[in-house]
A = this chain, B = another copy of it.
Amino acid sequence: MEREEWEEEFTEWFNDSISQGEIMDIQYPVKGLYVWKPYGLKLRNNTMDIIKESLEESDHEEVLFPLLIPRTIFQKESEHIEGFENEAYWVTHGGDKELNTDLALRPTSETSIYPMLNRWIRSHTDLPLKIYQIVNIFRHETKMTKPLIRLREVTTFKEAHTVHGSKEEAEQQVDEAVELYKNFYDELAVPHLITKRPSWDTFAGAEYSIAFDALAPDGRTLQIGTAHNLGQNFAEVFDLTFETYEGEQELVHQTSYGISDRAIASIIMTHGDDRGLCLPPKVAPIQVVIVPIPYSDEDVDVNKYAEKINEELKDASIRTEIDHRDISPGDKFYRWERKGVPLRIEIGPDEVKEDKITLARRDTGNREEVDRDELIPSVEKNFEEMYKSLKERAERFLEERIFEVMEIEKARDLLSERKGIVKIPWCGNEECGLEIEDETGGDVLGREQGVNEEMGECPICEKENCDPVLLSKTF
């Protein structure tokens, strides 16, 4: 299949934005591996801090399990291994010696964590157990790789794993996970769709999977988070039981949920524009950049004034940088815009003389003059407004690209023209679902969570009064 033009265009824009925005160096000499540069890593850390905080607040404890999993253990859960065996990397040698057992680089950590849990769980008083880790995972992707989106080393896999004493509790935990991720992406101003994945796209070894998808500018959706109810599948395989209050031994119920580097990708693709990155203030590594514009023939100290403004901002815990480089102001503006810094403060002789600053917003380009004593409130107000405006713009973009259609042909056209997401009635039958995919060229995302309206006739089997399903081209 030829790569489509819009796909090409988006890829080029995305790669340019993260390279010129100094998020990553994408020229590492192994396919699918990339280097986080300091500026990008700060964005990544600021973003992960948000999810870490909300995990800690909801009683998840951080752990760290080994990367290497012996083949025998990795292959214990049969569905799970089927889902992952083609993409696991295998370590076979230490030095020039062959190892006794091949070791998988974790593609996800169920099989490294769960064999240990029967040492951690004895009785109902040990439940629920809620743990998480932020680790690197590896997948031997055969499709076209893409920085932050399709990786062979996922550098930032935040995976949570929970263990419960009942089916109901495990279900509630999946709901809690969905709520956590929803709030997380709201804070990033990244609109998303929450769907229950169809049976044929459920996580290998899970009962059901809830997934988050964001919409890229090229009309495709990007899966940016998943939460799985694992039921008792792994518990059976790894013999995870607990003593109930009544003294019986019962199998535990489990869930797992994760987000990855794609969280960063979603920020970039949702808010970026033709001038490059545009970062929400909350996660921007530099929130305000100060550009002094001295004129040598004026008798005022622009740099000194700029330093004072810088100090004031820092004292208010705002992440700032002052740009003293020996290049033109225009050059500086351009470079900071590409890096997506939310606010720029310009200081020339006029600003110093009138005790004010000029404030420019990255997203709208709006410039305003602000009195010096309004500095902090004004910066904070702009942060808030920018967040709201980014969020609203992105929500509008998503809403306008969801198309309700009743016929296969219409769906196929919309998808092949990369218009966005298609909402179409579906009876819920797997065969019909697969045929919808086949005939439209899209992927079934699933039914939207918390939305329950009858839409019409299933275009395949013609069953009436069916609920809708979401369909899209995916990464």
B-binding residues in A (CB < 8 A): 25, 27-30, 33-38, 41-42, 44-45, 61-70, 73, 85-97, 102-103, 105, 112, 115-116, 119-120, 131, 136, 138, 140, 152-153, 155
Contact = CB atoms under 8 A, between A and B. Distances in A.
Nearest to A86: B95
B29 A67 contact: no
A151 B85 CA distance: 27
A171 to B, nearest CB: 25
B90 A92 contact: yes
A93 B29 CA distance: 18
Given A62-B38, A131-B38, A155-B64, A30 B93 contact: no
Contacts of A89: 91, 93-94, 103
23 contacts: A25-B120, A28-B66, A29-B73, A29-B115, A30-B69, A33-B66, A33-B68, A34-B66, A35-B63, A35-B65, A37-B63, A44-B64, A45-B62, A64-B155, A85-B95, A86-B96, A87-B95, A89-B103, A90-B92, A90-B93, A91-B105, A94-B140, A97-B140
B116 A153 contact: no
A30 B119 contact: no
A165 to B, nearest CB: 19
A344 to B, nearest CB: 22
Contacts of A63: 35-38, 41
Contacts of A153: 66-68
B35 A66 contact: yes
A45 B29 CA distance: 32
A112 B61 CA distance: 32
Contact of A103 (B30, B35, B65, B103): B30
Contacts of A119: 25, 27
Contacts of A41: 62-64
Contacts of A27: 116, 119
Nearest to A65: B35
Contacts of A138: 67
A241 B309 CA distance: 38
Nearest to A326: B125
Contacts of A87: 94-95
Nearest to A88: B95
Given A27-B116, A33-B68, A36-B63, 5 more contacts: A35-B63, A36-B65, A41-B62, A86-B95, A87-B94
